[in-house]
Structures are given as C-alpha cells and as structure tokens.
C-alpha cells in the first residue's frame, strides 16, 4: 500500500521544523521524506505523528499518488 502526505502548515518538534509543502511517502512499509529513505527512529516518530493527524488533521493532508504517469 502506498500513501502520500503533504504538510499544509509548518510543524516544529524537538528535532527541527518540517516546512509547508514537505512530503512523506509510505511505500511497502518504508517511509520516505521528500524522496529520501528515513532512518528507523525518525520513521517511528513520524508514524505516531501521522496516526494522530489522521484522527485530528491539522498539519498534514493526504494526497493522491499519480498512477501510470508517463
């Protein structure tokens, strides 16, 4: 399963600031941030963050992934 999320607001946490327009992709259990594979500890942190956002969206918006784009 593939999912894509984009930040609609800046999100500041103890590790830094994730900017508006940054993108998180989840592909076959792996998490990518702006196209780069994330380390395990960071992806665990963002996975919990995404679960919270799905319940009460504020920072993230799920967007459709283009299929069969040439």
Confidence (pTM) = 0.86
What does each of the 70 residues of the chain score in pLDDT, given as a tens digit? 799 999 999 999 998 999 999 999 999 989 999 999 999 889 899 999 999 999 999 999 999 988 876 6
- Residue 19: HSE in the Cβ half-sphere, 13 Å Cα cutoff: 3
Residue 38 Cα distances to 16, 22, 41, angstroms: 15, 14, 8
């Amino acid at each position: 399963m593939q999912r894509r999320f984009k930040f609609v607001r800046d999100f500041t946490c103890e590790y830094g600031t994730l900017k508006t327009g940054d993108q998180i992709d989840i592909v076959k259990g792996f998490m990518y941030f702006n196209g780069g594979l994330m380390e395990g500890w960071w992806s665990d942190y963002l996975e919990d963050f995404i679960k919270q956002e799905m319940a009460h969206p504020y920072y993230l918006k799920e967007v459709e992934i283009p299929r069969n784009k040439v």
